[in-house]
Structure 1
Amino acid sequence: MMKTRQLKISELLRKGMLPITLILLIFSSCSTKKPNSRVVLNKQYKDEILAGREDLKMHLITASTTGISVAVSIDGEMVWSEGMGYADKEVLAPAKPETKFRIGRTTHMLTAMLIAKLQEEGKLNVQDSFYKYIPEFPKKQFDFNLYQLGVYSAGFNEDELSKLATHEEYINLKEYIQSQATDTLAYPPNEYYAVSDYGMAMLGILAEDITETNFAKLMKETILDTLGLHETVIDNPLLITENRAAPYYQNYIAQVVNAPAIDLRYCAPAHGYLSTADDLNKLGQAILKAGFFSQESLDLFFTKNVLNNGFETNRGFGWWISEDMAGRKIYVQAGSTVGGSSMLAVYPEQKLVVSLCANISDDLGQLPGQKIANTFLAKIDPRKQPEEPVSKEEKPTSNE
């Protein structure tokens, strides 16, 4: 039918019988219209959303953030999804739910999830030595296993890829791993713990080795596509990526400027992904109960590691495990890198998931995720904050 219509238009044009204004109307009606941004505003939570908007506005001002997006879901239903500020300030492109931001260390949980799925498939065991799978890796002074890499107690020092990101000598993940392969461990495994990007990258190279598949392809096939996280992609600076946020940072006089060009693909398992607040929220919903992940994997993520001296850390496999002031359990991951930051907070008992992304680093942990979560918790699970402990002198005496 479209072909017939085009033939008729061509014939009329040839005969000079079609006014130019009518031609424009016809072709504009044939063009594909871009759908509106998918903002979600659930009226049931109107007051909470309005309060959350004020928190976002304040963050844009106080943290000099250019653009930010938020997603809140309760019991698997998205109740708020919105962007604020600019995804690209130079062209005044607004931040939207579909805006893709650099998520920094939040990438760690993706790598942990990939390892857990490979364990479910029988391809590895996290309690095995790293050398069982890559025996040619230079021997350290202590042995360490995959679990210790995932809970940051394998003996590697804390490192900041946000400061290394402009290094051009690392072409790929393998070269980055080789750069520190001969270094000695900083401490005996499980005697101490320190968040290590390099340790998470080692899990990534191991996954590549045992599956003989590129890390990005393996992550896409095993985790992202299966969960429908189609907006979570490798941050490839060479590709045109739809809805990618422009990255910014603050210079030495606290002026917001364009972030330097970087290529994070060499550290993909630790810092190398773009995502949206919506996608991170979907991921948070996926760990609220066994389903995509087995109960064994959920226990792996959310059981706190205990060091050799009996000290219980706040680290699970790729996750931070905590409680708020009212005693509610929280599973958290957050990340900051050059030109981007993110956080994901999951309240498993309340089935509340809050996610945020921004296009500037958040080294001080200022993203207002906790404030927004508290506002919604006041509605769905109101609890009194613990009272100040009564001193011995003020403690009431018994009549007995």
Structure 2
Amino acid sequence: RWAGHGWRGRGPGSGGGALEGLRGVIWAFFSRPLTDEVGAPGIVVGVSVDGKEVWSEGLGYADVENRVPCKPETVMRIASISKSLTMVALAKLWEAGKLDLDIPVQHYVPEFPEKEYEGEKVSVTTRLLISHLSGIRHYEKDIKKVKEEKAYKALKMMKETVAFEQEKEGKSNEKNDFTKFKTEQENEAKSRNSKPGKKKNDFEQGELYLREKFENSIESLRLFKNDPLFFKPGSQFLYSTFGYTLLAAIVERASGYKYLDYMQKIFQDLDMLTTVQEENEPVIYNRARFYVYNKKKRLVNTPYVDNSYKWAGGGFLSTVGDLLKFGNAMLYGYQVGLFKNSNENLLPGYLKPETMVMMWTPVPNTEMSWDKEGKYAMAWGVVEKKQTYGSCRKQRHYASHTGGAVGASSVLLVLPEELDTETINNKVPPRGIIVSIICNMQSVGLNSTALKIALEFDKDRSD
């Protein structure tokens, strides 16, 4: 599928052009000229420009054993992009006055016990849960390992910052306070004859492979509700899918509907008709199979998992087309306020402009693991516009979320057009590039690829 915006004749198989080059990059990234058992299985990519889908294509296989190719309609796990979907439910409830983001969660879910941190009574709020600042754990249960990893990352970041500043000032050979501090810490560790514990990655955690069926979000809380907080709420970022399980329970209580019923209403409003919760029993047409490499680097089927404990944080299936629709709905809401003065006939966005601005504003003390230039906002990672030097590297503003599930990887990226009051004449929102990529292989980093695609399409449009 390839149409509009001056790119006609440059689609798949036409030879040459930006698209063909990008298609080659993606294929080279995901396939190897070897057997099926050592090559990556399949990928689907979709791109929209100014609200119109201009590229949607599958490469490789949705089902390797039965030789079912990937296609635009292929349905895959979207993993943590589910968090961005859940955020829409929370935002709608907040706009309707049914949800207060800043009161203790026990107001809505008394089944979740009140918490203490180091003997001090603390409050967990909806806002803190959304931005992963609640202190609720992720899949790693060992507090010591998590704290050691956070401390190590902080030291590493400090070292890189100091080294950069020294290089700018021409003092790279001087021994500074940080170096002394680091040496003292290393010597202290050696004297204790101890080494930091190695934290397991998510795919080594048993809870990721749960097979138990949970009937509702309240029941799922028993997995973690009695565990201690790893950090004082608001003090440190700790990515937590379980935090979104609690958010699902909040959606239920604030809305009066079951979480999945409320989400299906949203999907219908957004015309996301292929987006559903993942369940094993229903027949879901065009559903892909999911794969992983074993220890011998051979392609194998992933084990059966039940994601009912984390619908809100990582349990939905979708297509690239539906994700493009979702991204455009968010972008429209973000931009429509700019266009109201020049075009009073514009329909309102699904979310209000002020809501979208809030959602896409980076939150202090957070991290964006898939792009260190950014911060986490409200269920989205956000990189802000930045340029340090004239005629040098320019950092574009964009929002994205990646996903990693058993046998699947995903990304949804929104690159808004840079607009001002002088450039919006004769234009209507949404204005920008949306890229969605889904893949039936776990542990695949997709954000940089999506950003490259978005920037290439944006460049091609402006040429």
Deviation per residue, 1:222-275 (Å, 9 max, x gap): x21100001111111111100101111111122111111111122111111111
TM (normalized to structure 1)?
A: 0.80
The answer on whether the counterparts of 2:210 and 2:307 sit within 8 Å (CA) in structure 1 is: no
Question: 1:237 matched to which residue of 2?
Answer: 280
Q: Hey, which bits of structure 1, 4+ residues long, moved more than 6 A? A: none
Backbone CA RMSD of aligned residues: 2.2
Question: 1:65 matched to which residue of 2?
Answer: 40
Task: Work out the percentage of aligned pairs sharing the same amino acid.
Answer: 29
Counterparts of 1:201-240 in structure 2, within 5 Å, are: 201-221=245-265, 223-240=266-283
Establish whether residue 256 from structure 1 lines up as the match of residue 299 from structure 2: yes
Give the CA deviation at 1:367.
7.0
Secondary structure (helix, strand or coil) at the match of 1:336 reads: strand
Deviation per residue, 1:360-397 (Å, 9 max, x gap): 11354577212322321332357xxxxxxxxxxxxxxx
The answer on whether the counterparts of 1:152 and 1:193 sit within 8 Å (CA) in structure 2 is: yes
Q: State which of 420, 424, 435 in structure 2 corresponds to 1:354.
A: 435
Give the CA deviation at 1:93.
0.9
Question: 1:44 matched to which residue of 2?
Answer: 6
Question: 1:200 matched to which residue of 2?
Answer: 244
- Distance across 2 between alignment mates of 1:266 and 1:358: 22
Counterparts of 1:136-215 in structure 2, within 5 Å, are: 136-141=111-116, 142-159=122-139, 163=205, 164-169=207-212, 171-172=214-215, 173-215=217-259
Establish whether residue 316 from structure 1 lines up as the match of residue 377 from structure 2: yes
Unaligned runs of 5+ in 2: 11-16, 33-37, 117-121, 141-201, 334-348, 367-372, 386-392, 419-431
Label 1:200 to 1:239 Cα distance change in 2 as closer, same or farther (>3 A). Answer: same
Establish whether residue 305 from structure 1 lines up as the match of residue 363 from structure 2: yes
Q: State which of 48, 64, 77 in structure 2 corresponds to 1:89.
A: 64
Question: 1:119 matched to which residue of 2?
Answer: 94
- Distance across 2 between alignment mates of 1:209 and 1:252: 44
Answer with 57-66 or 100-109: which moved more. 57-66
- Return the index of the structure with the highest Cα Rg: 1
The answer on whether the counterparts of 1:356 and 1:367 sit within 8 Å (CA) in structure 2 is: no
Deviation per residue, 1:178-228 (Å, 9 max, x gap): 12111121111111112110111110111112333221111011x211000
TM (normalized to structure 2)?
A: 0.69
Deviation per residue, 1:151-189 (Å, 9 max, x gap): 111112343765423223452433321121111211111
Deviation per residue, 1:112-165 (Å, 9 max, x gap): 111001111221021222122123421101102111100111112343765423
Deviation per residue, 1:53-94 (Å, 9 max, x gap): 102211222594211111111111111111111111111111
- Distance across 2 between alignment mates of 1:137 and 1:110: 23
- Distance across 2 between alignment mates of 1:217 and 1:282: 20
- Distance across 2 between alignment mates of 1:194 and 1:381: 39
Question: 1:370 matched to which residue of 2?
Answer: 451
- Distance across 1 between alignment mates of 2:326 and 2:458: 20
Label 1:150 to 1:381 Cα distance change in 2 as closer, same or farther (>3 A). Answer: farther
Establish whether residue 53 from structure 1 lines up as the match of residue 28 from structure 2: no
Q: How many residues align?
A: 340
Establish whether residue 341 from structure 1 lines up as the match of residue 409 from structure 2: yes
Secondary structure (helix, strand or coil) at the match of 1:40 reads: coil
The answer on whether the counterparts of 1:59 and 1:367 sit within 8 Å (CA) in structure 2 is: no
The answer on whether the counterparts of 2:106 and 2:113 sit within 8 Å (CA) in structure 1 is: no
Q: Which amino acid aligns with 2:130?
A: G
Answer with 95-104 or 42-51: which moved more. 42-51
The answer on whether the counterparts of 1:127 and 1:147 sit within 8 Å (CA) in structure 2 is: yes
Give the CA deviation at 1:104.
0.9
Unaligned runs of 5+ in 1: 1-38, 383-400
The answer on whether the counterparts of 1:153 and 1:191 sit within 8 Å (CA) in structure 2 is: yes
Question: 1:295 matched to which residue of 2?
Answer: 353
Secondary structure (helix, strand or coil) at the match of 2:401 reads: strand
